[in-house]
Amino acid sequence: RDKEHGGIARINYKGETVYDGLMLDAVFAEGTQAPTQNPDGSVGAMIDVGGMTYKEAVEQHNVRPVMTGMWYAMNYGWGMCAMPGSIQDNTWFALREITLGYRLPEKVCKKFGANYLRLGFTARNICYLINKLTDGLNPASISSNNPLQPMDIGGVPFYRTFALNLTVRF
């Protein structure tokens, strides 16, 4: 996450401004205490944020925004309870490969001194006709093939390849 993609400014442990904070859509319960953030990034005094929205607490009282990575680790990490977005319908149907070929007539082959000429074109990983996973996740991602870690934690992007071939027999 960065400033251009919605990251909220916070001060890290080195005193640097970074933009990996996340603005939660939440309201603090009455009586909730939260630490403020000092200008150098260290933890400040505890203040009452009960009844405030998270945004109000961050903007008005300098409460430190949650780090995006920490939020995802605590909500979707290994050993955490299943969150609504962590279980998805993995229904998909892919057009994996198309190969087209044309065998040239014998008359043309003889002009080149060959007995057989074939031109071919192959396209692989063309598209998903159906993909019910959210956020463009790749159903064939390498990171989700481990049975001891049944989750996709980023994975690999969808890629397609194209090939031309010429088969000649003399």
If one counts every other C-beta atom within 10 angstroms of the C-beta of residue 54, the result is 19
Instruction: Evaluate if residue 142 carries a pLDDT over 60.
Output: no
Tell me: the pLDDT tens digits for 122-136?
999 898 898 887 766
Q: Is 94 exposed, middle or buried (0-12, 13-18, 19+ CB in 10 A)?
A: middle
Of 52 and 65, more confident: 52
Instruction: Evaluate if residue 45 carries a pLDDT over 80.
Output: yes
103: closest CA among 54, 27, 169, 11?
169
Tell me: the pLDDT tens digits for 145-168?
555 555 555 556 668 899 999 999
What is the four-CA torsion angle of 118, 119, 124, 130, rounded to 10 degrees? -100
Of 59 and 164, more confident: 164
Rounded percentage of the chain residues whose pLDDT exceeds 70? 81
Q: Give the C-alpha separation, 138 to 149, whole Å.
A: 16
Put simply, whether the predicted model's pTM sits higher than 0.75 gets the answer no
Mean pLDDT throughout 52-70?
85
What is the four-CA torsion angle of 41, 43, 46, 49, rounded to 10 degrees? 40
Contact present, 9 and 68 (Cβ < 8 Å)? no
Specify the pLDDT at position 40: 77
Instruction: Evaluate if residue 97 carries a pLDDT over 90.
Output: yes
Mean pLDDT throughout 86-101?
85
Specify the pLDDT at position 72: 77
